[in-house]
Amino acid sequence: MIERLQGFAALLRKNRVRVSTSELLDAARAAAIVGLEDGQTLRTVLSATLIKRAGDQRVFDELYSLYFLRGADYARDLAGTPLGRLLAEMGLSADQVARLLEEIGDQAAALSAAGRAGLGLSALDVPALLFASGVALAGVRLTSPLQVGYYAHRALGEMNVAGAELELEQLVAAVSRALGPEAARALREAIARNMTALKAAVRRFVHDEFERQNVDFVQEFRARTLAERPFALLSEDEIARLRVEVQRLARKLRAQASLRPERRKRGRLDVRRTLRRSLSTGGVPIDLVRRKKRVDRPRLVVLCDVSDSVKNVSRFMLELVYTLQERFEKVRSYVFVADIGETTDLFRSSAIDEAVRLAYEGAVINVSANSDYGRALEQFATRHLDAVTSRTTVIVIGDARNNYNPPHADRLAEIRARAKRVIWLNPEAPAAWGFGDSAMRDYEPHCDKVVVAHNLESLRRVVNDLSVK
């Protein structure tokens, strides 16, 4: 019995629940008195002797079920968890759910806190989960909405969500061997949904913390029109509404192009053809003939940072550009975080919303990496420089937050030397450039224009400028 309790105490300590040797001895004595027959009484006794803080009770209850309960008791205890409910909603019978829950029991206790949350063994309690993972956001001063994505990404990294996903994939493989591919498929789908909910909950927690620290800013922000609101603070409902505005803006810009005066398309006077036509009027050039003016539509190369902090700016810019791509002779797009990958074919073969979704879910590059602008520019200049010609406008979209990596600004200079112009869209205000890990001051000299683009109104001005030049 004492070895079993020692293992449980070690599991609690791994999840940052403090358990002393004396408390472990008290738990052993109490367990010896009440016996092991009544699981509920044993749970109460161990909780009374091992738990000192109310915040640790949730972790204790979760780990107790995983560590001590087996068989029908275990399955019954976990049937009401997010995982149990989700498996039932997916059409599995109560017996199938119970078998699956029993199968994962032995391995689930050894999972990390992020792994258990991604598996869906308890309701999402982000503060408790951050504490159990050793992530400390207390004392962090959030002064910009762009920091929401950064700190959410940092928190997920410190929680080792990538490691948790690997743990869970190994668990799915074990279930596949024991119960077959159909059970494994259901478990993998449930995990994917729970992991998505976990990441959204962490971001929402950081977003709420920003609002608590910046009440005046948030009140002023809510008074703005939708087109004037910073992308970084939009809710999912506002993002959906803004996509309608993006489509309306695209239609408006196309209409503006079609209404431009026709005289702007007239070429220079063709003297030879004019004189030839004047023969019918005795040499009087009544009917002037002009050369057809070649419509020199611009070429466009877009490099989008798709890391969490700037993803809404990049997403809406990509949607605008591709909705208006008939106004450009050629459009090629690339996304990057640390590595860079081309998404031109992805956008050519998929609808715009589906292509953007796939790009942000990692269909081209690893979107969970830490930003490295220098590495991305190095790769583009090495592998894709042939996409840039003297007629190409290159647009870089991102905050230039480089995690203190080498900026390789010389590679941007190399790109600029081949391009017609380079425009950088940065969602941060100039006052933030050059501070912390921002490399914007290194890149700025190699850009023809740097535009603060943080809402729909600023993107409208950028795209309208592109389409008339």
- Pair 239, 324 in one domain: no
Tokens 């979107």 label which residue? 367
Q: Is residue 189 situated within a structural domain?
A: yes
Q: CA-CA distance, 160 to 116, in Å (whole number)?
A: 12
The whole-number pLDDT of residue 255 equals 62
Q: What average pLDDT does the segment 222-238 reach? A: 71
CB 121 within 8 A of CB 77: no
pLDDT bin (cut points 50, 70, 90) of residue 72 is low
Q: Is the pLDDT of residue 257 over 70?
A: no
Given 292, 316, 338, the domain boundary residue is 292
Q: Which among 184, 216, 248 is the end of a domain? A: 216
Give the whole-angstrom CA distance, residue 306 versus residue 324. 21
Highest mean pLDDT of the ranges 111-125, 173-187, 318-332: 173-187
CA 336 to chain centre: 12
DSSP, collapsed to helix, strand or coil, labels residue 214 as coil
CATH code at position 397: 3.40.50.410
The pairing of strands 421-426 and 266-269 is unpaired
Give backbone dihedrals phi and psi of 362, rounded to 5 degrees, phi first: 95, 25
pLDDT of residue 240: 76
Residues 210, 241, single domain; the answer is no
Give SS3 for 390: coil
pLDDT above 70 for 261: no
Asked whether residue 64 falls in the same domain as residue 170, the answer is yes
| C-alpha atoms less than 13 angstroms from C-alpha of 36 in its C-beta half-sphere | 7
pLDDT at 387 over 90: yes
Question: Cβ–Cβ contacts within 10 Å for residue 467, how many?
Answer: 17
250 and 187 housed in the same domain? no
Q: How confident is the model at residue 325 (pLDDT cuts 50, 70, 90)?
A: low
Clarify whether residues 211 and 270 are in a common domain.
Answer: no
Residues 6 or more apart from 14 whose CB is under 8 A from it?
none
Whether 15 and 31 share a structural domain: yes
Rounded average pLDDT over 125-139:
73
State which of 265, 292, 319 marks the end of a domain: 292
Q: Give 222 or 62, the one with higher predicted confidence.
A: 62
Most confident of 34-38, 84-88, 230-234, 381-385: 381-385
For residue 410, pLDDT beyond 90 = yes
186 and 278 inside one domain: no
Is 70 exceeded by the pLDDT of residue 291? Answer: no
Beta bridge partners of 290: 269
Among 232-236, 386-390, 419-423, which is the least confidently predicted range?
Answer: 232-236
- pLDDT, tens only, 363-378: 889 887 888 999 999 9
Residue of higher predicted confidence among 259 and 317: 317
pTM over cut 0.95: no
Q: What is the pLDDT of residue 163?
A: 87
Neighbouring-strand partners of residue 393: 300, 421
Mean pLDDT of the region 132-140? 69
Any idea what DSSP says for residue 401?
B
The SS3 of residue 450 is: strand
More confident residue, 52 or 270: 52
Q: What does DSSP say about strands 330-336 and 340-342: parallel, antiparallel, or unpaired?
A: antiparallel
- Helices of type H across 90-160: 94-108, 113-119, 126-132, 146-158
Rounded Cα distance, 118 and 171, in Å: 12
For 248-272, what is the mean pLDDT? 60
* Arithmetic mean of pLDDT, 273-283: 73
Residue 70: the pLDDT is 58
Q: Degrees (nearest 5) of the Cα angle 371, 338, 205?
A: 40
Distance CA 28, CA 7 (A): 12
Residue 199's CB is within 10 A of a number of other CB atoms, namely 18
Asked if residue 327 has pLDDT above 90, the reply is no
| Nearest in space to 327 (alpha carbons), one of 263, 264, 256, 420 | 256
Percent of the chain with pLDDT over 70: 81
Residue 343's Cβ-count burial label (10 Å; 0-12, 13-18, 19+) is buried
pLDDT band at 107 (very low <50, low <70, confident <90, very high): confident
pLDDT band at 143 (very low <50, low <70, confident <90, very high): confident
Same domain, 173 and 44: yes
């990404």: which residue's tokens? 153
- Residues 91, 185 share a domain: yes
- 374 and 392 fall within a common domain: yes
Q: What is the DSSP string of 94-107?
A: HHHHHHHHHHHHHH
Same domain, 322 and 373: yes
- Flag whether pLDDT at 464 surpasses 90: no
Query: Is residue 222 included in any domain, yes or no?
Result: no
Average pLDDT over residues 249-255: 64
pLDDT at 18: 85
Residue 262 lies in a domain: yes
DSSP 438: B
The predicted pLDDT at position 14 comes to 77
- What is the domain range of residue 254? 233-292
pLDDT of 12 above 50: yes
Of 227-236, 317-326, 394-403, the one with minimum mean pLDDT is 317-326
**Is residue 95 included in any domain, yes or no?**
yes
Q: Between 32 and 328, name the one with better pLDDT.
A: 32
Of 116-120, 238-242, 412-416, 441-445, which range is least confident?
238-242
Cβ-proximal residues to 397 (8 Å cutoff; 6+ apart), any chain = 302, 303, 304, 305, 310, 313, 314, 317, 424, 425, 453
Poorest-pLDDT segment among 48-52, 53-57, 163-167: 53-57
pLDDT of residue 448: 93
Average pLDDT, the chain: 79
The mean pLDDT value for 408-436 works out to 90
Residues 273 and 356 in one domain: no
Structure confidence at residue 454 (pLDDT): 78
Residue 247 confidence (pLDDT) above 80: no
Q: Please give the pLDDT value at position 260.
A: 46
- How wide is the angle at C-alpha 398 spanned by C-alphas 355 and 144, nearest 5°? 115
In the β-sheet with 299-305, what is the strand arrangement from edge to edge? Answer: 340-342, 330-336, 299-305, 392-397, 421-426, 449-452
> What span, in angstroms and rounded, lies between the C-alpha atoms of 209 and 197?
18
Pairing of strands 290-292, 299-305: unpaired
Work out the average pLDDT over 446-467.
Answer: 79
**Per-residue pLDDT at 262:** 46
Q: Does residue 45 contact residue 4 with C-beta atoms inside 8 Å?
A: no
Helix (H) or strand (E) holding 277: helix 271-278
CA atoms of 114 and 104, how far apart (whole Å): 16
Residue 227 placed within a domain: no
